[in-house]
Amino acid sequence: MARKPETQILNPPGDAISAVRFSPQTNKFLLVSSWDSCVRLYDVVSNSLRHKFYHTAPVLDCAFLDSMKTVSGGLDNTVKLYDLNSHTENVLGSHNAGVKCVESCKLLNAILTGSWDKSVKMWDLRDKECVGTYEQSNGKVYSMSCIDEKLVVATSERKVLIWDLRNMANYLERRESSLKYQTRAVRCFPNKEGYVMSSIEGRVAVEYFDPNPEVQKKKFAFKCHRAKEDDIEHIYPVNAISFHSVYNTFATGGSDGYVNIWDGFNKKRLCQFHLYDCSISSLCFSDDGSTLAIACSYMDEAETPPDPIPDPTLYVRYVNEQETRPK
């Protein structure tokens, strides 16, 4: 029997979904953090909830460290480790304000956390201790992405900080965001050439690390997640970005309820999926690029909230080459 291109996951979180992350090297397990103070592990093949564990406040981000260990952080200011095999949890440490971002750096066997206290911390996974706190005066950490030794941090003051993780004493570069409005998400290209960032004002920017003027000429920004109704343009935040690891194409999710796939190098939209239940709050491609997790949650963006407010929903979409491969 042919597999459906998309599956709705049963038993979704009870409040807005903050992050979805596939387990490394497989598209079977999906880690999901939520504003209901819980982190859940789903088996998307059997469409079942396998584990759940708790923080004492909303969880803002989560990540896999390997196929059986996870890290999460949120508004209780703590960074928690959870072992899915032994069902044991440990508090790794804390920030002085909410933990907005968690990232695993396999190259250094480290965890990186970014907080609303305007700091980035690096944690040694073996010794379970903080090996550095990197204060910066550029605003709260809103989004963060690392690829090998490169770390990109986007802040509330529209700054983008680029670090070399092997020498965190000073950031390599501080850039002004090329987008005029608040940053929602930043993600590094899998080929390590640059990063893509999005804003609340329906725009996405494609940026390059190499400072060579010839390379910098290639950077660009484009409008997306907008709609015209009765000659009025409605502009929606672009909340989520996820890269296809094989093709370097990427998905964006907006508060318009749409997911688009883009070829950033050739400045083309490859496809748009159907309209989802409400705002797309998080996206994640599996490591092999065959599956895309899509989280839908109302994100308090409307002046007049819908009545009733839609329940969070979670989907996995089995994407094909036509949707994700550059033309």
3-state helix/strand/coil string of 236-247:
CCEEEEEECCCC
Report CA torsion sign: 294, 297, 300, 305: positive
Q: Give me the chain's average pLDDT, please.
A: 94
Enter the pTM of the model: 0.96
Answer yes or no: are the C-beta atoms of 230 and 216 closer than 8 Å: no
Q: What's the token pair of residue 238?
A: 């672009």
Least confident of 244-248, 265-269, 284-288: 265-269
CA distance 186 to 241: 7
pLDDT of 75 strictly over 60: yes
Answer yes or no: are the C-beta atoms of 140 and 156 closer than 8 Å: yes
**What pLDDT, on the 0 to 100 scale, is given for residue 15?**
96
Amino acid making up residue 315 = Y
For the segment 294-305, the average pLDDT, to the nearest whole number, is 87
**What pLDDT, on the 0 to 100 scale, is given for residue 178?**
92
CA torsion, ordered 324, 211, 122, 70, to nearest 10 deg: 0
Answer yes or no: are the C-beta atoms of 323 and 270 closer than 8 Å: yes
CA distance 25 to 15: 28
**What pLDDT, on the 0 to 100 scale, is given for residue 71?**
97
Q: Report the percentage of the chain scoring pLDDT > 70.
A: 99
Q: What's the token pair of residue 206?
A: 């494609």
For the segment 315-327, the average pLDDT, to the nearest whole number, is 94
Q: Where are the domains of the chain?
A: 60-323
Q: Report the percentage of the chain scoring pLDDT > 90.
A: 86
Q: How many residues does the chain have?
A: 327
Answer yes or no: are the C-beta atoms of 153 and 140 closer than 8 Å: no
- Full DSSP string of 273-292: ----SS-EEEEEE-TTSSEE
Q: How many CA atoms lie within 13 A of 198 on its CB side?
A: 26
For the segment 272-279, the average pLDDT, to the nearest whole number, is 95
Beta strand 88-94 pairing with 99-105: unpaired
Q: Predicted confidence band at 137 (pLDDT cuts at 50, 70, 90)? A: confident
Q: How many CA atoms lie within 13 A of 131 on its CB side?
A: 17
Answer yes or no: are the C-beta atoms of 241 and 187 closer than 8 Å: yes
CA distance 49 to 270: 33
CA distance 140 to 240: 18
CA distance 276 to 295: 9
Higher-confidence position of 136 and 311: 311
The sheet with strand 173-176 has its strands ordered as 141-147, 150-155, 159-164, 173-176
Q: What's the token pair of residue 187?
A: 């993600």
For the segment 224-243, the average pLDDT, to the nearest whole number, is 94
Q: Predicted confidence band at 3 (pLDDT cuts at 50, 70, 90)? A: low
pLDDT of 162 strictly over 60: yes
pLDDT of 91 strictly over 60: yes
Q: Predicted confidence band at 25 (pLDDT cuts at 50, 70, 90)? A: confident
Q: What's the token pair of residue 300?
A: 């308090």
CA distance 16 to 13: 7
Amino acid making up residue 168 = M
CATH architecture of 60-323: 7 Propeller (2.130)
Q: Predicted confidence band at 308 (pLDDT cuts at 50, 70, 90)? A: confident
For the segment 135-144, the average pLDDT, to the nearest whole number, is 92
Q: Predicted confidence band at 307 (pLDDT cuts at 50, 70, 90)? A: confident
